[in-house]
């Protein structure tokens, strides 16, 4: 990109089926190519397999490599016109192609002394896309791209159909997107950092799983890629340490689960980027070849810690813990399997379960004494279960300790207790397998 280029003008006319893009960057050299025997603009826009970006040894932070983008636009147009002017060569160039690049007009050259510019105007061949006109959806998509350019191209003013886009920089763009996605009652805090001239990153909380909006050399990578993974991993690494301290004894929180609460925005310049397809939706270049590092400040990480993401992850972790505990809940059933050493009452889990008593003993020897007593009172309404050693005090126990304590889980199953349920009425008590508990010590 020419550093002096600071204006881009985009015109989209659905009625005339015409689209044009103009910029005031350095014009294309208006000279004959020494090897191809044609003007350079003709070669760039009207001949396949020609490009100026083949050299992998040269470090470039541009998007295209093989020159296909502009030529494909020409091929899929009924009319395609290129105009460019070069102060260096004191010439202005104009040429028009038609009928999907199969016909080309004569080149028009005239003297020029003004400021450099390049303009491309084309009429899409709608029949190739099974369309009758540029409908609202397509115009909206193209307009969105104009906003993308305004956000990702630093120091450039972008005009759409004569109106300057009110997005001055990447931060403005992020806040605009977040504001449009927010509910009336919800406000998400956006944390932004201009890391360097090659990295801009913003983060906010996501209510809909992991989301990303990213650009590589002003190309919208809608599917993300390794640049997004790289930045996300740096942030998650910081957050996971905080969550470990705040979630002691809770469910294990994994990096991808933190990521699910993040909406991340990345605007970066990558040296010679590679993509998985011509549409360039996913950037595949290895991190070691990026050409720069994204070194966040301590202030940025501190702001993220207070952005609501940590609280959101902790809230999710508590919800998951409750669900796991609910899975261990008992239920009213007459036959209970899988609890060793339980002498179950015959009526436990039945219609008369509220009249049943569970006798808890200290160890197997005390159980023997209790079982002997059943010969007198009968086994219909009395059950016996031996406890091993000192029982876990659940008042101070962590979620993990409760889940992993076999005796607590056995008691929940035997009695038929349900997590978070209060047993304050007789009707509540009738949902249990046992209505009473006797501790025999």
Phi-psi region of 100 (alpha: psi -120 to 50; beta: other; left: phi over 0): left
- Going by CATH, does the domain composed of 330-439 fall within 3.60.10.10? no
The whole-angstrom separation of Cα 144 and Cα 258 is 29
Cβ(361)–Cβ(370) below 8 Å? yes
Give me the average pLDDT of each 10-residue run along the chain (441 residues). 90 97 95 89 84 53 65 95 95 96 95 95 96 95 94 94 94 91 70 96 93 95 96 95 82 90 96 90 94 95 92 86 72 86 93 94 90 90 90 80 85 89 91 93 78
Give the closest residue to 210 by CA, choosing from 200, 201, 198, 223.
223
Strand partners, 262: 205
> What pLDDT was estimated at residue 277?
86
Q: Which CATH number fits domain 1-167: 1.10.357.10, 1.20.1260.10, 3.40.50.300, 3.30.565.10?
A: 3.30.565.10
- Domain spans in the chain, listed from the N-terminal domain onward: 1-167, 169-328, 330-439
What is the pLDDT at residue 54?
43
Q: What is the pLDDT of residue 365?
A: 87
- Model pLDDT, residue 222: 95
* pLDDT attached to residue 50: 55
Residue 53 confidence (pLDDT): 47
DSSP string, 304-369: HHTTTHHHHHHHHHHHHHHHHHHHT-----S---S-TT-B--TTTTSTTGGG-EEEEEEHHHHHHH
232 within 8 A of 297, measured Cβ to Cβ: no
CATH number for domain 169-328, candidates 3.40.50.1370, 3.30.230.10, 3.40.640.10, 3.10.20.80: 3.30.230.10
Q: Provide the 10 A C-beta neighbour count for residue 426.
A: 9
Closest CA to 76 of 99, 95, 96, 94: 99
The pLDDT of residue 186: 62
Which residues 6+ apart lie within 8 Å of 387 measured at CB?
360, 361, 362, 363, 407
pLDDT of 288 reads 94
Closest alpha carbon to 220 in 329, 164, 144, 322: 144
């Amino acid at each position: 990109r020419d550093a002096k280029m600071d204006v881009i003008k985009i015109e989209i006319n659905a009625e005339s089926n015409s689209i044009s893009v103009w910029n005031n960057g350095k014009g294309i050299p208006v000279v004959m190519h020494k090897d191809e025997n044609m003007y350079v603009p003709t070669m760039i826009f009207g001949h396949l397999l020609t490009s100026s970006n083949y050299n992998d040894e040269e470090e470039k932070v541009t998007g295209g490599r093989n020159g296909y983008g502009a030529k494909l636009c020409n091929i899929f147009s009924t009319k395609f016109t290129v105009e460019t002017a070069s102060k260096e060569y004191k010439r202005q160039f104009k040429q028009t192609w038609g009928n999907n690049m199969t016909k080309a007009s004569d080149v028009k050259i005239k003297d020029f002394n003004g400021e450099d510019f390049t303009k491309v105007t084309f009429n899409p061949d709608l029949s190739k896309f099974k369309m009758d006109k540029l409908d609202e959806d397509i115009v909206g998509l193209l307009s969105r791209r104009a906003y993308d350019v305004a956000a990702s191209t630093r120091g450039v003013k972008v005009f759409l159909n004569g109106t300057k886009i009110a997005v001055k920089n990447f931060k403005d763009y992020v806040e605009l997107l977040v504001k449009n996605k927010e509910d009336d009652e919800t406000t998400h805090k956006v944390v932004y950092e201009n890391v360097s001239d090659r990295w801009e990153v913003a983060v906010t909380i996501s209510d809909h799983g992991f989301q990303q909006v990213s650009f590589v050399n002003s190309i919208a990578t809608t599917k993300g890629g390794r640049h997004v993974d790289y930045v996300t991993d740096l942030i998650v690494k910081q957050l996971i340490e905080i969550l470990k301290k705040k979630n002691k004894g809770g469910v294990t929180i994994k990096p991808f689960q933190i990521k699910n609460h993040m909406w991340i925005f990345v605007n970066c310049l990558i040296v010679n980027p590679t993509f998985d397809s011509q549409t360039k939706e996913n950037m595949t270049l290895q991190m070691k070849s990026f050409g720069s590092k994204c070194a966040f400040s301590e202030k940025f990480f501190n702001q993220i810690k207070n952005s609501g993401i940590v609280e959101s992850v902790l809230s999710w972790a508590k919800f998951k813990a409750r669900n796991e505990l609910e899975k261990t809940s008992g239920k009213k059933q007459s036959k209970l399997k899988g609890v060793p050493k339980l002498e179950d009452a015959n009526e436990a889990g039945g219609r008369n379960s509220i009249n049943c008593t569970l006798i808890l003993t200290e160890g197997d020897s005390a159980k023997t004494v209790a079982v002997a007593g059943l010969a007198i009172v009968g086994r219909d309404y009395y059950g016996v279960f031996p406890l091993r050693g000192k029982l876990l005090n659940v008042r101070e126990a962590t979620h993990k300790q409760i889940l992993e304590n076999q005796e607590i889980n056995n008691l929940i199953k035997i009695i038929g207790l349900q997590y978070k349920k209060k047993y304050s009425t007789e009707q509540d008590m009738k949902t249990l397998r046992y209505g009473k508990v006797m501790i025999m010590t």
